[in-house]
Chains A and B, each alone.
Chain A
Amino acid sequence: QVQLQESGPGLVKPSETLSLSCTLSGASITTSYWSWIRQSPGKGLEWIGYNSYSGTTNYNPSLKSRVTISIDTSKNQFSLNLTSVTAADTAMYYCARVVLTHFDYWGQGTLVTVSS
């Protein structure tokens, strides 16, 4: 059974970088595509981007200038970096597996608040 678990700080200061990790079990990070999605009351569910072991990346154009998703095969995990955060980046952040066109396995989510 594929399981994903997000981890990282729950509070980030404005203008700083939000960094989260997603640890994978039950599957190898070298297969499939791996994605981050966030959810806030204001914007609903918003796809952030995805990456793959082969290095194929794709980001939401609205966030592209601030986002990096990277993969660490030694830890079987992938991570999200979002720079220059503002209050608008406050959301529940989910990691998920992308299967071609949809997301079949999700982590439980981690709440990130941007505040000084």
Chain B
Amino acid sequence: EIVLTQSPGTLSMSPGERATLSCRASQRISNNYLAWYQQKTGQAPRLLIYGASSRATGIPDRFSGSGSGTDFTLTIDRLEPEDFAVYYCQQYDRSLLTFGRGTKVEIK
């Protein structure tokens, strides 16, 4: 089973800043089957990015994903007030899906 490690655990940022979130896999993720989700308190996760870098429908272009192999990054340009939330990465490998433990982006 591939284990995903997200860092940092918490990111304290100000609106307008750029946030960079990391997701590292214990093994290479084939075909870049890596997705990112945003979860706000009391809500279900929302798909942001799939295939490491493809934005889901309706996701603003300030959200971008990059990376390959074992190291992946979610970048949020110009943080908006509604972007403060918890972000999870998720991988697919040999019909199994696992999630990271999340990075909380909080207001500084």
Is the A/B pair a real complex? Answer: yes
Q: Do B101 and A44 touch across chains, with their CB atoms under 8 A apart?
A: yes
B50–A101 contact, CB under 8 A?
A: yes
Note all chain A residues with C-beta closer than 8 A to B33.
Answer: 101-102
Evaluate contact between B35 and A102: CB separation under 8 angstroms: yes
Number of interface residues of A (CB under 8 A): 19
Contact between chains at B102 and A102 (CB < 8 Å): no
Is B44 in contact with A46, judged by CB distance below 8 angstroms? no
Q: Is A34 an interface residue (CB 8 A)?
A: no
In the assembled complex, which residues on chain B have CB atoms less than 8 Å from the CB atom of A104?
47, 50, 56
> CB within 8 Å of B: which of A44-78?
44-47, 58, 60-61
Asked whether A58 lies within 8 Å of B50 as measured between CB atoms, the reply is no
**Closest beta carbon of chain A to B27's beta carbon, Å:** 16
Q: Is B72 an interface residue (CB 8 A)?
A: no
Q: Decide if B92 touches A58 in the complex (CB within 8 Å).
A: no
In the complex, which residues 94-114 of chain A have their Cβ closer than 8 Å to any Cβ of chain B?
Answer: 94, 96, 99-104, 106-109
Q: Which of B35, B44, B100, B101 has the most CB of A within 10 A?
A: B44
In the complex, the answer to whether A47 meets B46 with C-beta atoms within 8 Å is: no
Question: A residues within 8 A CB of B101?
Answer: 44
Could you say which of A47, A58, A106 contacts B98, with CB atoms under 8 Å apart? A47
The complex places the Cα of A108 from the Cα of B40 at a distance, in Å, of 12
Are B45's CB and A102's CB within 8 A?
A: no
Instruction: Assess whether B44 is in contact with A58, with CB atoms less than 8 Å apart.
Output: no
**Shortest beta-carbon distance, A102 to chain B, in Å?**
4
Are the C-beta atoms of B44 and A44 separated by less than 8 Å? Answer: no
Asked if B46 and A44 sit within 8 Å, CB to CB, the answer is no
A binding-site residues for B, Cβ under 8 Å:
44-47, 58, 60-61, 94, 96, 99-104, 106-109
Question: Knowing that A44-B102, A101-B50, A101-B51 are A-B contacts, what are 8 other residue pairs whose CB atoms are under 8 Å apart, sorted by A's residue number?
Answer: A44-B88, A44-B99, A45-B88, A60-B96, A94-B44, A100-B92, A102-B92, A106-B46
A-B contact pairs, 18 of them (CB 8 A): A44-B88, A45-B88, A45-B90, A45-B99, A47-B97, A58-B95, A61-B1, A61-B96, A96-B44, A99-B50, A101-B35, A102-B92, A103-B47, A104-B47, A104-B56, A106-B45, A108-B43, A108-B44
